[in-house]
Amino acid sequence: MKKYVYFFGEGDKSMKETLGGKGANLSEMTKIGIPVPPGFTISAEVCDYFYKHDKRYPDELKKQIDENLAKLEAKMGAKLGDSENPLLVSVRSGAAISMPGMMDTVLNLGLNDESVQGLIKKTGNERFTWDAYRRFINMFGDVVMGVDHHHFEEQLDSVKKTKGVEYDTDLDAGDLKKVVELYKEVVRKHTGKLFPSDPREQLQMAIDAVFGSWNNPRAISYRRINEIKGLLGTAVNVQTMVFGNMGDSSGTGVFFTRDPSTGENKFYGEFLINAQGEDVVAGIRTPQPITELKKIQPENYNKLIEIYKKCEKHYKDMQDMEFTIQEAKLYILQTRNGKRTAAAAVRIAVEMVAEGLIDKKTAVLRVEPNQLDQLLHKQLDPVAKKEAEVIAKGLPASPGAAVGEVVFDAHTAFNWAQEGKKVILVRIETSPEDIEGMNAAQGILTARGGMTSHAAVVARGMGKCCVAGCGDISISYKEKQFSIGNLIIKEGDYITLDGGTGELFKGKIPTVDPELSGNFGILMEWADSFRKIGVRANADIPRDAKVAVKFGAEGIGLCRTEHMFFEGERIKHMRKMILAETVESRKAALDKLLPYQKSDFKGLFEAMGEYPVIIRLLDPPLHEFLPHKEDEIKEISIETGVSVQKIKEKIASLHEFNPMLGHRGCRLGIAYPEITEMQARAIVEGAYEVAKKTGKKVKAKIMIPLVGKVGELSHQKKIVEKVIEEAKGKYDKELPFSIGTMIEVPRGALTADEVAKEAEFFSFGTNDLTQMTCGFSRDDAGKFLKQYVELGIYEKDPFQAIDQTGVGEMMKIAIKKGRKTRPDLEIGICGEHGGEPSSVEFCHRIGLNYVSCSPYRVPIARLAAAHAALKEE
Amino acid sequence: MKKYVYFFGEGDKSMKETLGGKGANLSEMTKIGIPVPPGFTISAEVCDYFYKHDKRYPDELKKQIDENLAKLEAKMGAKLGDSENPLLVSVRSGAAISMPGMMDTVLNLGLNDESVQGLIKKTGNERFTWDAYRRFINMFGDVVMGVDHHHFEEQLDSVKKTKGVEYDTDLDAGDLKKVVELYKEVVRKHTGKLFPSDPREQLQMAIDAVFGSWNNPRAISYRRINEIKGLLGTAVNVQTMVFGNMGDSSGTGVFFTRDPSTGENKFYGEFLINAQGEDVVAGIRTPQPITELKKIQPENYNKLIEIYKKCEKHYKDMQDMEFTIQEAKLYILQTRNGKRTAAAAVRIAVEMVAEGLIDKKTAVLRVEPNQLDQLLHKQLDPVAKKEAEVIAKGLPASPGAAVGEVVFDAHTAFNWAQEGKKVILVRIETSPEDIEGMNAAQGILTARGGMTSHAAVVARGMGKCCVAGCGDISISYKEKQFSIGNLIIKEGDYITLDGGTGELFKGKIPTVDPELSGNFGILMEWADSFRKIGVRANADIPRDAKVAVKFGAEGIGLCRTEHMFFEGERIKHMRKMILAETVESRKAALDKLLPYQKSDFKGLFEAMGEYPVIIRLLDPPLHEFLPHKEDEIKEISIETGVSVQKIKEKIASLHEFNPMLGHRGCRLGIAYPEITEMQARAIVEGAYEVAKKTGKKVKAKIMIPLVGKVGELSHQKKIVEKVIEEAKGKYDKELPFSIGTMIEVPRGALTADEVAKEAEFFSFGTNDLTQMTCGFSRDDAGKFLKQYVELGIYEKDPFQAIDQTGVGEMMKIAIKKGRKTRPDLEIGICGEHGGEPSSVEFCHRIGLNYVSCSPYRVPIARLAAAHAALKEE
């Protein structure tokens, strides 16, 4: 005879598919001797049979349920429906994959007019018992018999009204007894049937309901959205109810096997005497620390310690457990892996290896890469933060915490910071002209823009706290203030930002510095030993490069040269270059820029030693370097000697309807080959000079942006090669320069076989590739992408995690075609996605050589890369 | 012994590869008995050998040249260098593929101090002879001996100066004799060698030079740019010189075997007595009509008629021929297929089939699809146009001619047209708000924008003449005038546009109407019988649909519903809809739009009978429907009752950085499902009502734009399907609705297998697909794409002809994946490319079911489709 029903302990955790997650775990705990309230599980195979046979059950089922019920009654010394010692059970769903709240549950099953008397005798608590009974009728009536909850609610309200009270707790046993009768009548009225008094019938009906709920519309759409496929169905768990509120020898509590905040190996939890689980959660009564239990019930306390050690050893992870003591008898209701802070995760993982509980691979897999973000930035003091009031909320655009005086322009930010003040730059949105101010500020707050807005991208690159797109605030530059409703914050007022949550606070909140403890270093070392792909950083300036190296970057995957054109004098020459009307005057301006660029590159090369440094040539449209305000234009006119009229004409002629798809990237270098030449010269000469000074073999890699057709690359490559050739003669050693391209235009990916004929390396610019592949402007898509994710059209924002089926498909084509032409082609990624764990895993799977991300995400990428490699094993 | 030299007549036209195009043709003509000046061809295999053997010749070559030269001398009764009857020859290059002007030519070879006397005796014309001699030295010195032309020119100038004359023609025989001596000295001075007097040596040196010129830099880059590959090299043609200027029994002329303007089957040409070919071309003397020759040299006239008939019969095409009569002896110098107007091409092709000269397939292939454009639009009277002065030139954005009074805004255009005036709308650039004015105007002139600017696209759709991007004109809306330099054209002044050339004229020029003659119809019928893919039209309004049917469209491939929202009252409701703050008020505005839309669709369905009509749901971003000028905003505020402030806020909130990649297409329908619902309802109910009225099975196909992920389509499809379901109940018959999508986002193409699960048809929107695949904003790329084409990075502007290796690759992926899911998936194209011949051919090759283009390009697409099918055979 096929076995359909398993008494707890007959199965184990390997049987999730048939017993469901919950059932398998209850069996497992029982098996290893944890005192779980006894019960049995009806296999998910029954659910499968049920739907394949027109909602009928296998013939053997009834008998097996009866046998297990008898076994349960014998074990508990109690009987379902008994008027002396009644057994109450819960009936719960539980599939192989958790679908919280999607299917049905019935508690307190077994109550009827007889057993309610038995329960009163047993508990001595009439009110509790009648309350349990009326709750049972409500729940059963709703879930099993289909009577809408509000019908019951109306009756309860009428009783309260009659009595003139407001809360349920004001009703006494007598009132609740009346409610029971009214509830029974509700059921009769809406179903035409009497509320079933036979507990065995109650049980069967509840089982039917749970199996039936497998295919309710809610559950079906949950499975569709979460792509849950191939399950047999749900199992049904029938378990003895236990009560922690049966007097002073009863109680309930929750605890962790280690400190979930710090990871310290200690017993950590709290409990309440004479209470139910929800009382602990509800926070009406203040629970006592778990150590207090030692005084009250030393035996159970010792048992708990024994149990938790056993569980941790068995499950090999920190456990989050719930227990109930019913009249001095201890039951464990649940054990599961406990949630923890990043610091705790790292400490627990490393210490468990030392304790021999887990191996290094497991330890590495135990820490979620994204969690590390917490460890790498300054944080608000958690205690002080609890007290503080959130005045507005924006997007958590760049993690960390920032406290400072509000300023509204980059200039003031810079000046105040020079004076030693800590400032927060508040802008409607930022532009490349704000870079210096952003750099000087503690943090950045913008009213507009998404997770990939200019402010967000630059701030993450700088490892600086940023709250973006905070639509609650209304900024007036003129009055130098912003408002949130009636609250006005003026220039010089202190505010505090939490870049990890997007929260904005008034005043100063203390912060705590990140501590890259020894455990962190150990874990990262292990991660590095497992990962297969390289991790580089996106860094534009020597300071960032140094941070990147500190965080373990193995090179620079992207240096954006345009950021170099904004500081100080440079922007003047850049503007002169743009406003030049002849090649000669353009060259003259470029000659002025050359020394700046060269010195920047030298700084990078010095920081990176013999690690590769990929430098991308000028990418953004030229209009980004010109001002748009009248007074700024006048200023520039004076500086450059070009008439205001001419400057305005130039600005107008550079205006584009879709700058994203406009005159930028290599298109600039093709229109103005002298820009490419100057940049190439700065790189090549800088590399030689550093090599000479340090004796190191500098590895400069020159990257041409926005290539869609191989001819663009050939054009630019010729210019760069000429510069390299010229330099070779000037210096006595040879350096390994290479020339490659961004793959960020779909056409470039599609024709990667052609492009690879010229390109010595590829780097996926997945920001732009996403924009063009999906047809989303990063600056504009925020407003509808949110809805897209809500509707489930996209699972995730494709600018945050690589859209694997779309953009990822494009990448695969490019890799396949590129390596067909050049089998050893080095391919990496330097878009924002390079530091996002699911994207890193994808990059590993499709065979990239490295990922590159902002310096502050390098450890995350390293860990994610290790996860990817370990998951593949 | 390998044969390297072929006497004319020994080869034939099949031997292009070895004899070159010219040599093969000269042999062919000789062979069929055309009196070609005799000569011989040295095979291109010699050229191949030459470069493979360090510029040496095969041993057998000299002997073969000598033999053929002897044969030539015998045939002509003249000898190279002879002092009594000298033979003069030309030495010309000629490869299998014509490379005009890239390689070297030497004329009058054989002259030296002896033969010059012989030529004087023979011609009795001393001046002519010395002139020929000095020209020969100049040409030979330059081409063969490398003496720069200007050295010769200096000497000639000095002689003229000494004599005090201005023109070469003022020099007499004595002067020219002196020039010959000076030229010889130039050669000696610059080469250190005497000018070669041995004609056999002259010949060998000229042959060396021609073979040498195969690899001159000019020829190499010409072959690279034109992708000419795999040729052996050039052949060398040595041919007897003949002279039409040897007195009154000599002459020269050119003629066509049919009238190249009309195609009429008549002898058509002109000639000059006692003249050389260049005299005819130079236009100093006025040639006589060919029929006059009958009176002067009746025998040669009759011979010409006999020869031309023979040639036409032999080459089976209208010929363009050159002849020279040397002392009453007739020579044919060249015959080639003649260029002709579109009208002539059609008439000749159709008549030649009737004459049994060619078959229908050949006839269809004889007419270039693009040529048809001339036939479908009003044209400027060619005679009157010759007299008129072009005052500016823009892009030939939409063909045809237009004459009218200048107006500067759509409103005036509409009003003046209502009054019966003919107007030309002149704008800096047009926007959707100008539609009504464009419709009312005879033609459109814009100062900005390219071939695919709004003005250009809309004008082509309307079949209306448009000159776009005319940078020469400077418009002042305020003063209601535009200027070109000092010329000022005011509102109300007449101008004339030629949309086929982009020319702009002052005043009125008479026009001629297109005549779709019987021959045109016959040819198109043949084309239709050969083509394999369907041709539909892009049409938004019933009038366009009717034109499309007249031009042979088999359905509407794209109806852009947004154009329907601008006329009259509609725009008000559209604006109310956009400004609505609740779903209810949006629905109320949409309810007002519904009857308009429905009536438009009904017009289309009535025009198209049972042909499919594909209607695209709302596509452009909503901001396009809102005004941006202060007074217009005020006006709308009054109309809609929405405050100016609110309207401005809405406009600001709709502003996008890259509207091309912004909130448009199905993204609108997803944000505002009620828009989709209204449009679907208008289509479905309209279809049912027309079906009821006409008894026809209306085929409405609903197209969702800008789908990048299948979820977007599913979302919109559900809404449309619901509307269809509801309508089914209301009407008693069933109509075959289908729901499909544009493939215009790269992601949509890449995941076409998924998209095809929902889409019942695909239509490539190659405009947007090109923008996103190549990363080019159509509105902005004009400035650099021009340079890209000049540099050869792109061969053609990808917005004009499909970029087959990039965008085409994307299309192939979509087709393959789409048909994998749904093997019978109907796939078409509705971008601007659908009417461009090379793109139509590509669409045929990759297996599309149809192309769709503007009504006025339908015949072009039909013919191009036939060409594609026939070329494949």
- Judged by a CB distance cut-off of 8 A, whether residue A411 touches chain B is no
A:298-327 residues touching chain B, CB 8 A cutoff: none
pLDDT value at residue A383: 77
pLDDT over 90 at B296, yes or no? yes
The DSSP element (H or E) to which B615 belongs, if any, is strand B612-616
- Nearest chain B residue to A665 by CA: give it: B775
pLDDT over 70 at B597, yes or no? yes
- Note whether B171 and B125 are within 8 A (CB): no
A:600-639 residues touching chain B, CB 8 A cutoff: none
Cα–Cα distances (Å) from B568 to A169, A506, B187, B571, in that order, read: 67, 53, 79, 6
pLDDT value at residue A779: 85
Cα–Cα distances (Å) from A271 to A256, A297, A307, A334, in that order, read: 12, 12, 16, 15
Question: Quick check: helix, strand or coil at residue A253?
Answer: strand
In the block, which residue shows the tokens 């700088």?
Answer: A462
Q: Residue B774 and residue A708: Cβ atoms within 8 Å?
A: yes
- Nearest chain A residue to B770 by CA: give it: A747
- Note whether B349 and B363 are within 8 A (CB): yes
Instruction: Give per-residue pLDDT as tens, A564-595.
Output: 888 778 888 999 999 988 889 999 999 999 99
Residue among B677, B840, B666, B663 nearest B766 (CA) = B840
Residue among B705, B703, B706, B702 nearest B683 (CA) = B702
Residue among B779, B777, B797, B778 nearest B787 (CA) = B797
Could you give the CA distance from residue B268 to residue A486 in angstroms, rounded to a whole number?
Answer: 91
pLDDT over 70 at A282, yes or no? no
In the block, which residue shows the tokens 């590769």?
Answer: A612
Q: What is the 3-state secondary structure (H, E, C) of A712-781?
A: HHHHHHHHHHHHHHHHHHHCCCCCCCEEEEEECCHHHHHCHHHHHHHCCEEEECHHHHHHHHHCCCCCCC
Q: Residue A657 and residue B793: Cβ atoms within 8 Å?
A: no
Residue among B822, B835, B706 nearest B764 (CA) = B706
Q: Residue B747 and residue A775: Cβ atoms within 8 Å?
A: yes
Could you give the CA distance from residue A487 to residue B857 in angstroms, rounded to a whole number?
Answer: 63
pLDDT category, A279, cuts 50, 70, 90? low
Identify which has the larger pLDDT, A202 or B288.
A202
Q: If you count residue pairs, one on A and one on B, with CB atoms under 8 Å apart, how many are there?
A: 168
Residue among B710, B720, B780 nearest B749 (CA) = B710
Q: Which of A708, A771, A777 sits opposite B656 (nearest CB)?
A: A777
B17-50 per-residue burial string, b: 16 or more CB within 10 A, e: under 16: bbbbbbbbbbbbbbbbebebbbbbbbbbbbbbbb
pLDDT over 60 at B282, yes or no? no
pLDDT value at residue A399: 86
pLDDT over 70 at A452, yes or no? no
pLDDT category, A621, cuts 50, 70, 90? very high
Residue among A582, A645, A657, A654 nearest A622 (CA) = A654
pLDDT value at residue A283: 57
Nearest chain A CA: its distance from B573 CA (Å)? 24
Residue among A184, A105, A110 nearest A141 (CA) = A184
Could you give the CA distance from residue A540 to residue A556 in angstroms, rounded to a whole number?
Answer: 9
Q: Residue B783 and residue A745: Cβ atoms within 8 Å?
A: no
Q: What is the 3-state secondary structure (H, E, C) of A458-477?
A: HHHHHCCEEEECCCCCEEEC
Would you call B777 exposed, middle or buried from its count of C-beta atoms within 10 A (0-12, 13-18, 19+)?
A: buried
pLDDT value at residue A280: 65
Question: Quick check: helix, strand or coil at residue A132?
Answer: helix
- Judged by a CB distance cut-off of 8 A, whether residue B553 touches chain A is no
Cβ atoms within 10 Å, residue B657: 15
Label the pairing between strands A79-80 and A86-87: parallel
Residue among A111, A396, A420, A99 nearest A241 (CA) = A111
Q: What's the pTM?
A: 0.82
Q: Token digits for B496?
A: 């004339």
Q: What Rg value do the Cα atoms of chain A yield, rounded?
A: 34
Of the residues B431, B712, B719, B747, the best mutation for testing chain A's interface (the one with the most A CB atoms within 10 Å of its CB) is: B747
Instruction: Give per-residue pLDDT as tens, A31-68.
Output: 999 999 999 999 999 999 999 999 999 999 999 999 99
B442-475 per-residue burial string, b: 16 or more CB within 10 A, e: under 16: bbbbbbbbbbbbbbbbbbbbbbbbbbbbbeebeb
pLDDT category, B235, cuts 50, 70, 90? very high
Could you give the CA distance from residue A6 to residue A39 in angstroms, rounded to a whole number?
Answer: 9
B:785-804 residues touching chain A, CB 8 A cutoff: 787-788, 791-794, 803
pLDDT > 90: what percent of chain B? Answer: 72
Could you give the CA distance from residue A695 to residue B472 in angstroms, rounded to a whole number?
Answer: 59
Segment A547-556 shows an average pLDDT of 94
pLDDT value at residue B463: 78
Cα–Cα distances (Å) from B471 to A671, B446, B484, in that order, read: 20, 8, 9
Q: Residue A777 and residue B806: Cβ atoms within 8 Å?
A: no
- Least confident piece of the model among A756-765, B450-459, B648-657, B815-824: B450-459
Instruction: Write out the catalytic residue numbers of A.
Output: 454, 830
Q: How many residues does chain A have?
A: 873
Residue among A367, A397, A395 nearest A860 (CA) = A367
Q: In DSSP terms, which residues pair with A240 in a beta bridge?
A: A89
Active site residue B853: no
DSSP state of A369: G
Most confident by average pLDDT, A245-259, B243-257, B288-302: B288-302
Could you give the CA distance from residue B867 to residue B465 in angstroms, rounded to a whole number?
Answer: 27
Q: What is the DSSP string of B157-171?
A: HHHHHHHT--SGGG-
- Judged by a CB distance cut-off of 8 A, whether residue A234 touches chain B is no
pLDDT value at residue A407: 96
- Nearest chain B residue to A809 by CA: give it: B750
Q: Which of A658, A659, A711 sits opposite B793 (nearest CB)?
A: A711
- Judged by a CB distance cut-off of 8 A, whether residue B673 touches chain A is no
pLDDT over 70 at A118, yes or no? yes
pLDDT category, A328, cuts 50, 70, 90? very high
Identify which has the larger pLDDT, A504 or B100.
A504
pLDDT value at residue B281: 58
Instruction: Give per-residue pLDDT as tens, B177-232.
Output: 999 999 999 999 999 999 999 999 999 999 999 999 999 888 888 887 777 888 99
Segment B93-109 shows an average pLDDT of 87
Q: Which residues of B touch A715 (CB under 8 A)?
A: 791, 793
Cα–Cα distances (Å) from A103 to A6, A673, B72, B331, in that order, read: 21, 66, 103, 100
Question: Quick check: helix, strand or coil at residue A324?
Answer: strand
Could you give the CA distance from residue B605 to residue B612 in angstroms, rounded to a whole number?
Answer: 9
Could you give the CA distance from residue A460 to residue B225 in angstroms, rounded to a whole number?
Answer: 47
Q: Token digits for B650?
A: 């809405």
Cα–Cα distances (Å) from A806 to A420, B247, B382, B749, in that order, read: 49, 79, 54, 9
pLDDT value at residue B483: 93
Could you give the CA distance from residue A88 to residue A37 in angstroms, rounded to a whole number?
Answer: 11
Residue among A116, A161, A150 nearest A136 (CA) = A116
Could you give the CA distance from residue B151 to residue B171 in angstroms, rounded to a whole number?
Answer: 19
Q: How many helices (H) and strands (E) does chain B have?
A: 35, 33
Instruction: Give per-residue pLDDT as tens, A692-736.
Output: 999 999 999 999 999 999 999 999 999 999 999 999 888 888 899
Could you give the CA distance from residue A28 to residue B479 in angstroms, rounded to a whole number?
Answer: 89
- Average pLDDT of chain B, as a whole number: 92
pLDDT value at residue A133: 95
pLDDT over 80 at A865, yes or no? yes
Identify which has the larger pLDDT, A867 or B279.
A867
Most confident by average pLDDT, A253-262, B107-116, B221-230, B239-248: B107-116
pLDDT value at residue B377: 85
- Note whether B565 and B571 are within 8 A (CB): yes
In the block, which residue shows the tokens 């809406």?
Answer: A190
Could you give the CA distance from residue A850 to residue A761 in angstroms, rounded to a whole number?
Answer: 12
In the block, which residue shows the tokens 């300071």?
Answer: A543
H helices of B238-359, in order, are: 277-282, 293-296, 298-315, 342-354
Q: State the catalytic residue, choosing from B830, B843, B844, B867.
A: B830
Geometric angle at alpha carbon A709, from B368 and A671, rounded to 5° = 95
- Note whether B337 and B357 are within 8 A (CB): no
Q: What is the DSSP string of A506-551?
A: ES---EE-----HHHHHHHHHHHHH--SEEEEE-SSHHHHHHHHHT
Could you give the CA distance from residue A682 to residue A563 in angstroms, rounded to a whole number?
Answer: 15
- Average pLDDT of chain A, as a whole number: 92
Could you give the CA distance from residue B128 to residue B279 in angstroms, rounded to a whole number?
Answer: 14
pLDDT value at residue A284: 61
pLDDT over 80 at A432, yes or no? no
Instruction: Give per-residue pLDDT as tens, A141-164.
Output: 999 999 999 999 999 999 999 999
- Least confident piece of the model among A283-297, A316-330, A432-446, B464-478: A283-297
Q: Residue B747 and residue A807: Cβ atoms within 8 Å?
A: yes
Could you give the CA distance from residue B834 to residue B845 in angstroms, rounded to a whole number?
Answer: 14
